[in-house]
Amino acid sequence: MSRRQFRPPPRGGQSPPDDTGCTVLHVDMDAFFAGASLLARPDLVGTPVIVGGGHRGVVLSATYEARAFGVTSAMPMGRARRLCPQATILPPDHELYARISQSVMATFADITPYVEPLSLDEAFLDVAGAVRLMGSPAMIAQRIRDTVADEQGVTCSVGVASTKFVAKLASSLAKPDGLLVIPAAEVVTFVQQLPVAALWGVGDKTEESLARLGLKTVADIAHTPRETLVRALGNATGSHLHDLAWGRDPRSVEPVRRERSIGNERTYGHDVDDPEVVHRTLLGLSEKTASRLRAAGLVGRTVSIKVRFADFTTISRSRSLRDPTDVSRDIAAMARDLYDALGLQRARIRLIGVRVEQLSEAASTPVQVALDEPEHGWREADRAIDRASARFGAGSVRPASLLRAGDDDRGRPSTASPGSDLE
């Protein structure tokens, strides 16, 4: 049974569900990137639409009309086109998505300071402190849905429950454009009627292990001794699943969630075997990554690259800098060194990526200036570029090497893969 087929337990009568104590909300935008892209194309509303890169890219998002044909996020665009040839393909607009996401998160912050973003399009909220002024949790959830729809023109689904795990399950069941409350007294009944795949942390391999034990539903897990699960799955996984099967999830909403890494990657429209083209791509990706670090007020110490070849074999390499940085030049130099050290010669490359890890707050990290760096050095130059980009648009100021002719068909990469920008 797929997650889209999950159903809440039947409820008799028309009275609203009891949301007492259900102060955890999970808000999930509905097909967010597709919905946002349709704001400029209202004529496509109600039709199959796929948002993604070129033929060799992957699906960033798809409308529910396209999903009905089996199109899913992260699916290769070639396969998506075969499944739904009548779909309209729209290029992603990441600046638009970021702008709407910031506004949506601001709406959450107006309600409660306890907001835990999971990505651009979903977040947990703890509204315990807002109930007194704004009404019941269900009323707050509906207020969020109305505000987002009225102000941003996109829809969201909200799960309301007593724990994060159940709230997230509820929001998935409420999709699209719905609201579902799981009363605290009904959590065990609700959870145990679901298949094992519904549990947080159950992937394909864990599901196979549970199937070998004859466990197909959450109720099966709940009534299996914890010791049996631990022996089969290990202490952490076995105990975790047993607790979830009884609706136990002690995690609180964490209002600050620090990024583990920031990066960008690009898929080429055609396989590339020219090192100079790869070098220019690494420079462009490093510029974007450094800009995002500065925007987030972060610096990073470890630079890593990812290389995917024409046969989809993928390798990664990383190295730590002496000092944390948010300077484009430092990141680009390390990325190039990592790539050159691979000695690939004329290998055919499909995708290249740059990522910065071991992040820390820039304000609390001393800046080390090199002895040969001028008084107004690369860091100040980067900030001047940031100011120009904010005023005239992203890409208005770029390194001269990225403006070379000949990058269009042979070297210009397609749109970045979804989900690869931020972890």
Cα 332 to chain center, whole Å?
24
More confident residue, 244 or 372: 244
User: What integer is the mean pLDDT of 8-21?
Assistant: 66
Q: Which residues are annotated as a binding site for Mg(2+)?
A: 28, 121
pLDDT of 291 > 60? The answer is: yes
pLDDT of 68 > 80? The answer is: yes
User: What integer is the mean pLDDT of 49-53?
Assistant: 90
Which pLDDT score, from 0 to 100, does residue 297 have?
83
Is residue 112 within 8 A of residue 127, CB to CB? The reply is: yes
Spatial CB neighbours of 390, under 8 Å, sequence gap ≥ 6: none
User: What integer is the mean pLDDT of 209-229?
Assistant: 92
Task: Determine which of 1-5, 243-247, 391-395 has the lowest per-residue pLDDT on average.
Answer: 1-5
Coarse DSSP helix, strand, coil percentages of the chain, rounded to the nearest 5 percent: 40, 20, 35
Nearest to 301 by CA among 382, 355, 369, 381: 355
Which pLDDT score, from 0 to 100, does residue 260 have?
75
Number of Cβ within a 10 Å radius of residue 251 = 12
CA distance 354 to 334: 10
Region of 70 please: left (phi>0), alpha (psi -120 to 50) or beta: left
Q: Which residues are annotated as a binding site?
A: 28, 121
Beta-strand runs (E) in 195-283: 261-272
Q: Which two tokens stand for residue 319?
A: 């190295």
More confident residue, 328 or 416: 328
Per-residue pLDDT of 24-45, as tens digits, reads: 999 999 999 999 999 999 999 9
Per-residue pLDDT of 156-173, as tens digits, reads: 999 999 999 999 999 999
Which pLDDT score, from 0 to 100, does residue 258 have?
61
User: What integer is the mean pLDDT of 139-150?
Assistant: 95
Instruction: Point out the catalytic residue in the list 65, 122, 265, 287.
Output: 122
H or E, element range at 82? helix 77-83
User: What integer is the mean pLDDT of 75-92?
Assistant: 93
Q: What is the largest CA-CA distance in the chain?
A: 77
Work out the mean pLDDT of the chain and round it to a whole number.
84
Which domains, ranges and CATH numbers included, belong to the chain? 19-181 (3.30.70.270), 190-245 (1.10.150.20), 261-403 (3.30.1490.100)
Band of residue 119 on the pLDDT scale cut at 50, 70, 90: confident
DSSP 278-323: HHHHHHHHHHHHHHHHHHHTEEEEEEEEEEEETT--EEEEEEEEEE
Nearest to 346 by CA among 275, 412, 278: 275
pLDDT of 255 > 80? The answer is: yes
User: What integer is the mean pLDDT of 136-151?
Assistant: 95
pLDDT of 242 > 50? The answer is: yes
Catalytic residue flag (residue 373): no
Strands 122-126 vs 314-325: parallel, antiparallel or unpaired: unpaired
pLDDT of 360 > 90? The answer is: no
